[in-house]
Amino acid sequence: MRRKSPPRPAAPAAAVALEIEKLVYGGDGLARHDGVTYFVPFVLAGESIRARPVDQRRNFVRAKLEEFLRVSPERVAPLCPYFTACGGCHYQHIPYPRQLEVKRDIVRETFARLGRLNWDGPVTLHGSEPFGYRNRAQWKVRPQPPRAAGTRGGLALGYFRAGSNQLCVVDECPVLAPPLAAALETFRATLRSGALPESLREIEVFAEPSGSLLVNLTFSALPDGPRRVAERVRAAIPAARSVLLRDTEGERMELDGPGHLSYHARGTDYRVGHLSFFQVNRYLIEPMIEAVTSGPAQGLALDLFAGVGLFSVPLGKRFERVVAVEADPAAARDLEANLNAAGATAPRTIGAVNAEVARFLADWRETPDLVVLDPPRLGVPAEAIAALAKLRPGRILYVSCDPATLARDLRALAEAGFEIAELHLFDMFPQTYHIETLVHLTPKP
């Protein structure tokens, strides 16, 4: 007989008084009222509030802050005028040192709850400049209604509003690095002038340290005369080294420029293409490279989910052999170029493999001295974890952007005979709930 699901708790339509217990992953504060768990954004632990339910689920209720009954003395005024409307930031009401502590506590709690791992050791915190850190931005573009009869509405850009796909038009964004802040202002003016097609839906810009830009323009339908569109972008933004135009399905693309730029970090020039991933915090790229690549160097290193080779290249200067594995075709092309450039000056054996990690490991038999894992948000596939357990590498360094999937994978690695030796938190995304974690694992004695 099929077991019946428990009835949903009744959420009152009226506002309720809540005591915020703690902040949880996702940016919300957690509170309980009459046996119901509530999640409320833009609050602090210890605050007493009145909140109105807006979304009832099976096991919890999401609510919107309406009134403060008691305000935390830690609360600060947000720097951005769009905070709470724009969906990009979640923590601007929290002093930056406290943001780091909140994230540290969330990592510990997530490990214990989802991974059954009670880590009592230190969590080394790597803070960032709290604003002006992002070297990549993605702006949504939408048509705007005309302000007066007989006028043209034009296009506006910004970010999606919190919890919706409605545009929050912005004039500024304090988390952007200076080249991106300048690009935002220029694109706003260019859109107002009508110089770009009405079918434009998204602008993505990536900046390297000296200010050169990669620009991706996404359209609902690729416009006629794409080269003329690219020329208008270059005329408005001379720093645009390369411009890629594509439709929303990614089926049609037009490139104007070399298709990549060079990002200098810790003595290496990395080729980064339009569709390749690269870390977004300009202040923490070099500290993370240092943390991942500075341990004992000997024998063989496997860099899995290698991207463009952020870790592979410096590892290749220290290990006898490095094998870098990346499945994404665009990133794999940049990876091969970067490893070839590194191999031309270093007497090391260093190679790139364009393959899914699980498939690569299924055929790999040699025990590595070091394995670096830097997977996407979904984490490491279970079959890849099983293969690593059989290989039993001397060390594993796991770089994660999601504490939930990290906790899941660490539990599997613990069951396979590995234990945590060090735990680092890199705050790649200040003012947001996002957490980047580096875990150093070794085989249990």
Q: Are 200 and 190 in contact (CB under 8 A)?
A: no
User: Smallest Cα–Cα separation from 90: which of 430, 431, 402?
Assistant: 431
Alpha carbons 319 and 346: distance in angstroms, whole number: 11
DSSP string, 47-64: -EEEEEEEEE-SSEEEEE
Is 168 among the catalytic positions?
no
User: Smallest Cα–Cα separation from 408: which of 439, 365, 442, 444?
Assistant: 439
Degrees, nearest 5: CA angle 191-194-197: 85
DSSP-based helix, strand, coil % in the chain, nearest 5 = 25, 35, 45
Residue at token pair 């994404």: 328
Alpha carbons 376 and 286: distance in angstroms, whole number: 20
Alpha carbons 312 and 326: distance in angstroms, whole number: 11
97: left (phi over 0), alpha (psi -120 to 50) or beta: alpha
Among the options 86, 89, 173, 401, which is catalytic?
Answer: 401
User: Smallest Cα–Cα separation from 158: which of 215, 210, 86, 228?
Assistant: 86
The set of catalytic residues is 401
